[in-house]
Structure 1
Amino acid sequence: MPAPAAIVFDAFHFHQWRHRWDSLVGTTLVVGGAPCPCVGAITENTGSAWLSRLSMRTQFIAYDPPHLAAASMLGQSFPFGRWAASMRHQDQAPGHSVLIYSYNFTVGPSAIARLARPLVEWIFERQTRKRFARLALFLVSHAHEIEAWQRERTIYE
């Protein structure tokens, strides 16, 4: 990513930034109205564009800014029977970092899983690549805004 890990982490997890670049999620919110998740927080997410009928509730099982965030799906959300993901952020050269995204899911209901899994995997991988490419493009032009916002926040916290 073309920004330090702390900036990338906040660009993804603070919804005021995320809504400006995220091509996969149409709406996302933390239940209770917090600006970002924390351990135990539940989020509600709906898909964007042609994925707008998809929705998922997740619960954060890890949230350690700016290094790690992990969540798992609550209940089921077609086409997923189960879903969990984690994001690890590591600084590299000055002004650059690596985002390691790991996920695991099952397709449900089980009656269609064997046939549907290859298609669901293909769509999920393609949309995930597009999503993180959009994040990288956003950071090229807006990382300085997030950095200024972070500085301002630490003054007032």
Structure 2
Amino acid sequence: MPARADLAFDAFHYQHWRAQWDPLVSRTHVQDGAPCPSVGAISENTGAGALRALSMRTQFVSYDRPMLAAAKMVGRSFPFTQWAASMRHQADGADRSQLIYTFEVGPAPLRWVPVH
């Protein structure tokens, strides 16, 4: 990424910034009104464009600025039965960084597909 790891971390995790640049979300916020999550915090994310009907609540299980944030889905969110992800930010030179995104998803079953 063309930015230091701490700046990239903040761009992803400060909710008011993310909605300005992320084309996948139209609205993001932390339930308690904080500008960014913390361990245990729940965030709500509403999709944008063709994804605007989708929303997901996530609970942060790790938040170690500026290096690591990890969250898991709370409740259900079509089309997933489970979702978890981590974002690790690492310096890669003076004004560059790498983002390592790791995720696990469980798709909802397609009830109209016959199972034999």
Fold shared by both chains (TM-score > 0.5): yes
For each residue in 1:46-100, what CA deviation from the matched residue of structure 2 results, as whole angstroms up to 9, or x when unmatched?
1001100001000000000000000000111110010000000000111000000
Q: Is the 8 A contact 2:3 2:95 kept in 1?
A: yes
Q: Residue in 2 aligned with 1:62?
A: 62
Q: Give the corresponding residue for 2:4.
A: 4
After TM superposition, the runs of 4+ consecutive aligned structure 1 residues lying more than 3 A away are: 109-114
Q: Across the two proteins, how many residue pairs are aligned to each other?
A: 114
Give 1:7-156 correspondences, 5 Å limit.
7-109=7-109, 111=111
SS in 2 for 1:111: coil
1:107/1:113 contact within 8 Å kept: no
Residue 32 of structure 1 aligns to a residue whose secondary structure is coil
TM-score scaled by length of structure 1: 0.69
One-letter code aligned to 2:21 = W
Distance in 2, Cα, partners of 1:53 & 1:74? 17
Distance 1:58 1:93, change over 3 A: same
Give the letter aligned to residue 76 of structure 1: R
How far apart, CA to CA, are the structure 2 residues paired with 1:5 and 1:61?
20
Query: How far is the alpha carbon of 1:110 from its aligned partner?
Result: 6.0
Q: 1:97 to 1:107 in 2, by over 3 A?
A: same
SS in structure 2 at match of 1:20: helix
Q: Is 1:9–1:66's contact at 8 Å kept on the other side of the alignment? A: yes
- The whole-number CA distance in structure 2 between the counterparts of 1:113 and 1:22 is 33
Structure 2 gaps of 5+ residues are none
* Two-structure CA RMSD over aligned residues (Å): 1.6
Secondary structure (helix, strand or coil) at the match of 2:21 reads: coil
Please identify which structure carries the higher strand content: 2
